[in-house]
Amino acid sequence: MKANLVTQLTLLKQRGQTVAAYGASAKGSTLLNYCGLGRETLDFVADRSTHKQGRLTPGTHLPIVGPEELAKRQPDHTLLLTWNFADEILRQQQAYRKAGGRFIVPVPEIQMI
């Protein structure tokens, strides 16, 4: 899974695509650190928690912003770090998705939605 995810994200970046992440969770930070994904791959992490916004992700030091930034910045792809809440987040992010934004769900297998 690690190799596939890193390869997919690397290919997107090589094609000039922008990539963000959603969900500054502990499991998400573990995934980022395990895969070695940082600022060279991801532009920012969006999260609904105002306690996390304005801070950096542990180890990878990615800026954490509010979820409205997805619609404002419109990254081509967003890595979903809180995959256990995929259905809820996909519903919440309709504006981003309608504008062409795609989510990457890494677990249990990589899916582009």
30 backbone dihedrals φ, ψ, rounded to 5°: -60, -45
Res 103: pLDDT: 98
Query: Which domain does 72 fall in, by range?
Result: 2-112
Res 77: pLDDT: 98
Q: What is the DSSP letter of 12?
A: H
Res 101: pLDDT: 96
CATH number of the CATH domain containing 101: 3.40.50.720
Alpha-carbon distances, residue 111 vs 3, 32, 50, 60, 69 (angstroms) = 15, 17, 28, 23, 22
Res 17: pLDDT: 97
Tens of pLDDT, residue by residue over 45-73, are 999 999 999 999 999 999 999 999 999 99
For the chain, 113 residues long, the average pLDDT of each consecutive 10-residue run is: 96 97 96 96 97 97 96 97 95 94 95 94
Instruction: Please state the domain count of the chain.
Output: 1
Res 87: pLDDT: 95
